[in-house]
Structure 1
Amino acid sequence: MADNGVHPTEEDPAAAFLAQQESEIAGIENDGEGRFRGRACHSEWGHESNGPTDSYAAIAQVDIQRQEPESLRKWREEQKTRLEALDLASKTAEAEWKEKAKRELEDWHVHQSEQMEKNKANNRASEEAFLAETDGESPGSEWERVARLCDFNPKTNKTAKDVSRMRSVLISLKQTPLVR
């Protein structure tokens, strides 16, 4: 008889390891069924057998191996319901945010329209006042009109360009007008 490396009197270390792992997994699953039934076991003739020889029993055994433990199945169901609840909550929050953004945008447009109307009214009033002033031209009042249009206060606008030289030229021309 050929020696295939397995002696009936010796203990197979791989089989012992698999048996130990099977018992640990069965303890972890806590459902009373071993997930690794039907592993290759050695018969008295030295041939390997892959479990039951009946085909229906083999199919049932594969179904048992593929079956999830009860704890994992419950966790998946709870996870699924929790994720569905989170999805629903995020969709409602998103709808609320969109509605709020729509209201704020409408409010902004109303405010912009009001502000633009106010600016138009102010600009028209300023233009009418300017035109009324320019129509009454009298000789010698040109520099007074220029002085009204210019801001001679150096502290009024910090972000504008430096116009101090222009200001000084206008003031000197106002004080000593050019003679023609």
Structure 2
Amino acid sequence: MGPSRCPWGGCAHSAGQGGCVPQESNGPTDAYAAIAKADRLTQEPESLRKWREEQKQRLQELDAASKVLEQEWRERAKKELEEWNLRQIEQMEKNRVNNRASEEAFLKESREEDPGTEWEKVAQLCDFNPKSSKQNKDVSRMRSVLISLKQTPLAR
């Protein structure tokens, strides 16, 4: 008997010799054929490759557009914040001027010592309209006393 190939293929020794271990193979035994098959399996179809390139280009355009839009929003927000700060400063200055004027008027009135004008000063500080009163307590008796004192002041 001459040397014969192993029944499993791929072995160079004869079938009669022991120690032949079958080689597991999922494809061609030729190395070049296996590489070619792997290349065919991993290679994408032309339509998928074209779609991926278009998708990549679209995503880059969207990223660039979103960056431009974000920059515009930042600039607009910065401008609005500066305007708001200016309005706040103007409003605070107006409040300061008004508060100073009202404080000066109050101090001027409180320093006046005209006899018999005490109840008029109290009447100016009180709200005599019962509908606009926001208090929960009943102050109608106090209101009536102040009104009567305003109309007929006490004589000393």
Fold match, TM over 0.5?
yes
Give the match's secondary structure for 1:53: coil
User: 2:96 maps to which residue?
Assistant: 120
Q: SS of 1:104's equivalent?
A: helix
The match for 2:58 is 82
* CA shift for structure 1 position 101: 0.9
Residues paired across the two proteins, number: 130
Residue 60 (structure 1) aligns with: 36
Among 79, 100, 103, which residue is 2:76 paired with?
Answer: 100
Q: Structure 2 vs 1, CA of residues 148 and 52 (structure 1 numbering), >3 Å: closer, same or farther?
A: same
Structure 2 residue aligned with 1:131: 107
The change in CA–CA distance for 1:98 and 1:168 in structure 2 (over 3 A counts) is farther
- Shift of the 87–100 alpha-carbon distance from structure 1 to 2, 3 Å rule, reads same
TM-score with structure 1 length normalisation?
0.62
- 1:122 shift after superposition: 0.5
Q: Distance in 2 between matches of 1:79 and 1:105?
A: 38
**After TM superposition, what 4+ stretches of structure 1 lie above 6 angstroms from structure 2?**
none
> Counterpart of 1:161?
134
Counterpart contact for 1:152–1:167, Cα < 8 Å: no
**Contact residue 154 and residue 164 of structure 1 kept, 8 A:** no
**Which residue does the alignment assign to 2:46?**
70
* The one of 125, 133, 141 aligned to 1:149: 125
One-letter code aligned to 1:143 = W
Task: Please list, as runs of the form range in 1=range in 2, the aligned pairs for 1:8-23 lying within 5 A after superposition.
Answer: none
User: Unpaired runs of 5+ in structure 1?
Assistant: 1-47
**Shift of the alpha carbon at 1:153?**
3.4
Report the Cα distance in structure 1 between the residues aligned to 2:116 and 2:155, rounded to whole angstroms: 11
Contact 2:128-2:143 at 8 Å conserved across structures: no
What does residue 173 of structure 1 align with? Answer: 146
Deviation at 1:113, TM superposition (A): 0.6
Whether the 8 Å CA contact 1:143–1:174 is kept in 2: the answer is: no
Instruction: Report the residue type matching 2:145 in the other structure.
Output: S
Corresponding position of 2:14 = none
For 1:43-76, what per-residue CA distance to the aligned partner results, in whole angstroms no more than 9, with x for missing partners? xxxxx97443321121011011110101111111
- With 49-58 and 69-78 compared, the bigger mean Cα shift is at 49-58
Return the index of the structure with the highest Cα Rg.
Answer: 2
Distance 1:134 1:167 in 2: 26
**8 Å contact kept, 1:52–1:58:** yes
